[in-house]
A and B are shown apart, each in its own frame.
Chain A
Amino acid sequence: MTTAFVPLLLIGVLTCSGVYLLLERNLTRMLLGLLLVGNAINLLILTVGGPSGNPPIYGRTSSGRTTTADPLVQGMILTAIVISMGSAAFVLALAYRSYRLTTAEEVPDDPEDARVLQQKEDEADEDVVRPQPQRDEDEPAELDELPLPSKTESQRT
């Protein structure tokens, strides 16, 4: 059995580009990557189904071919296309929602994960009550509302 070289090359190129895009943090690019890889796999399924032939309908021939095309691969690709379309729509909705909420559409870090990672050894113990810095009682209450100056800012000044 011979396999056409061009589809295989195309599958390779599509997969490479798709994986490259998947490694980004930007959601739209990741989605494009997923779609490219998905198309590469669909093409792969089509290629492994054998050479082209008559339409897989009983009694139909097309341009005098003797073999019939494999209907199963076409059914599988159709299913896979529909599924990936639905998922892509969901990812787009998520990306839009993420953009509305955080004005970024990147894959964010897990804040709890970051907190666990950064805590020092004594902080890891939930039994220790850390002393809160005492506030001067004479301070006016409005100062509570003001955001505390962050460390970087105080270092800069």
Chain B
Amino acid sequence: MSVGSALTPLPVLIPIGGAALTMFLGRRPRLQRAITLAALSALVAVCAALIYLTDRHGTIAVDVGGWGQTVPGLGPLGIALVVDRLSALMMIVSSIVLLAVVLYAIGQGIRDGDERQPVSIFLPTYLVLAAGVCDAFLAGDLFNLFVAFEVLLTASFVLLTIGATTDRVRAGIAYVMVSMVSSLIFLFGIALIYAATGTLNMAELALRLSHVAPGTRSALFAVLLVAFGIKAAVFPLSTWLPDSYPTAPAPVTAVFAGLLTKVGVYAIIRAHSLLFPGGGLDTVLLVAALLTMLIGVLGAIAQSDIKRLLSFTLVSHIGYMVFGIALATRPGMAGAIFYVAHHIIVQTTLFLVAGLIERQAGASTLRRLGGLAAASPLLAMLFLLPALNLGGIPPFSGFLGKVALLQAGAQDGSVLAWVLVGGSVTTSLLTLYVLARVYSKAFWRSRADAPEGALAAASPTVLLDDADDVAFIDRADVGRMPVGMLVPTMGLIGVGLSLTVLAGPIFSYADRAAAEVLDRQQYISAVLR
């Protein structure tokens, strides 16, 4: 048993074990925090080892339980866990984000009224979410992917409705209903695929689905796409996201925005290139990508709440990834993979900064914010860097990812691809406009000019939203930004900037990952042996 196959189950086992331990230690917050930090740090280390091993020695496949195979050349009897370059990259980025966000949440909790926040369930649930996300990236068969989705969704239900206030229950109801419907559609797709092929192991499916009639194949693919499209928030299926994410506490929104939609994107990549290559639905995906980009960003223009506005840009930028996937070429896929990594980091950072803004200024809506650049130049810097990154200003990684996608689109050369290239540029400009508007209103204008600038939340809140509105001048002094919140935010900004500095190696890695994803042979031969 090699080092790689010994490490492969760990990204699921470590957080699940941590969740069990922290659940036991619900009454001892310090120990709980220490265990959570240790578990997530170990997760980062394991994921770093896995990315090194897969890049060096190729795809690792483990059949859990070691039941062996019935016939040589068929899939394993147990559940298959597979790490290739794509899933290793997704896991390392996710684990870094998970660690940074939990540091932020703990820092916020220590500073602002820990005694009122329900830590005893927050950290265990957070670790279960981490396990679900990693399991989704590792899953080598469709049913295990379904279970991973359910694990992370159930954890996200609890995190989204934490404290169960009126707003959160309202947002939670919509989120839970939509998620459950998407899970049912996924299960329906699994049943149909099992009926057509008699297996759910993805490597076996890749071989067997090529013998299925093309019409049936397209139908199966369409069912899966609807299920994953809801999770990834692709346009006609995206309206649930801006309604439900903004009401959650800042760290929860940050981690949801970074990871949950990207799990859907990852599933779309797998379904599109491993299970149904050369699919006839690329045109549909391209049109959906275009509409996602444009409608998402147009929605963002109308918003005045920063968190809602960021949620709309999140939807909009999912379109870029779907664009890269639907091109089904190596440069397109490489661009999409790079863009996923970039977007996880930058979107999480922006939501963390929004949390800082909410803490310092007592509001997250532009109707109340103003004068923040004078009050805290550091905060202005923290917002500006990821905002420019998301807007695609050179030399940030958002620019590099977009250029890669535009080049891939131009190489494709069809009319629709050129329309999408135009749409991408427009979306990028509009994103910049939206963020510049936030910057000029929240940071540059005086607070007295804001229509409701005289109001603010009475005190900073951590996980519960129980602060009443008071007059801004009556607000208690919140002091400087806590170091425990600043350091993780700055760390994530640093990681985002390192995507620019190390763009060469990371891009060539994304290119190798794309080649591997499109080739399929490595994946299939690693699992079927």
Contact = CB atoms under 8 A, between A and B. Distances in A.
A95 B164 CA distance: 11
Contacts of B394: none
Contact of B157 (A38, A90, A129): A90
Contact of A126 (B172, B187, B192, B450): B450
B451 A48 contact: no
Contact of B169 (A45, A72, A98): A98
Contacts of A102: 166
A130 interface: yes
In this complex, the interface size class of chain A, counting residues with CB under 8 Å from chain B, is: 35 or more
Contacts of A34: 177, 180-181, 184
Interface in B150-207: 150, 154, 157-158, 161, 164-166, 169-174, 176-177, 180-181, 183-184, 187-188, 190-192, 194-195, 200
B305 A112 contact: yes
Contacts of A13: none
Nearest to A125: B451
B366 A126 contact: yes
A148 interface: no
Interface string B435-448: 00000010001000
B187 A41 contact: yes
Interface stretch (A57-65, A79-87, A134-142): A79-87
Contact of A110 (B170, B183, B195, B441): B170
**Residue of B154, B170, B174, B302 ringed by the most chain A CB atoms within 10 A:** B170
Nearest to B453: A129
B180 A27 contact: no
B281 interface: no
Contacts of A4: none
Interface in B125-160: 143, 147, 150, 154, 157-158
A9 interface: no
Contact of B181 (A22, A83, A108, A130): A22
A73 B190 CA distance: 11
A45 B173 contact: no
Contact of A87 (B180, B192, B450): B180
Contacts of A10: none
B243 interface: yes
A23 B441 CA distance: 41
- Majority DSSP secondary structure for residues of A touching B: helix
B468 to A, nearest CB: 16
Contact of A94 (B173, B242, B302): B173
A83 B132 CA distance: 14
B195 A94 contact: no
Contacts of B183: 83
Contact of A130 (B174, B192, B451): B451
B161 to A, nearest CB: 7
Interface residues of B, number: 45
Contact of B243 (A44, A49, A113): A113
Contacts of B150: 83, 87
A113 B171 CA distance: 12
A87 B171 CA distance: 16
Contacts of A73: 194
B210 to A, nearest CB: 20
Nearest to B171: A110
Contacts of A86: 154
B143 A76 contact: yes
Given A22-B181, A97-B169, A130-B451, A107 B187 contact: no
Nearest to A11: B191
Nearest to B187: A41
B522 interface: no
A128 to B, nearest CB: 7
A146 interface: no
Contacts of A116: 302-304
B445 A127 contact: yes
B147 A45 contact: no
Interface in A22-80: 22, 27, 30, 34, 37-38, 41, 44-45, 48-49, 72-73, 76, 79-80
30 contacts: A41-B191, A45-B191, A49-B194, A72-B194, A76-B143, A83-B147, A83-B150, A83-B183, A86-B154, A87-B150, A87-B154, A87-B176, A91-B180, A94-B173, A94-B176, A98-B169, A98-B173, A101-B166, A101-B169, A102-B166, A107-B173, A107-B177, A108-B170, A110-B174, A112-B308, A116-B302, A116-B303, A116-B304, A126-B441, A130-B451
Given A41-B191, A128-B451, A129-B451, 7 more contacts: A45-B190, A90-B157, A112-B305, A126-B367, A127-B445, A129-B450, A130-B451
Interface of A: 22, 27, 30, 34, 37-38, 41, 44-45, 48-49, 72-73, 76, 79-80, 83, 86-87, 90-91, 94-95, 97-98, 101-102, 107-108, 110, 112-113, 116, 124, 126-130
6 closest A-B pairs by CB: A48-B195, A45-B191, A126-B366, A110-B243, A44-B191, A108-B170
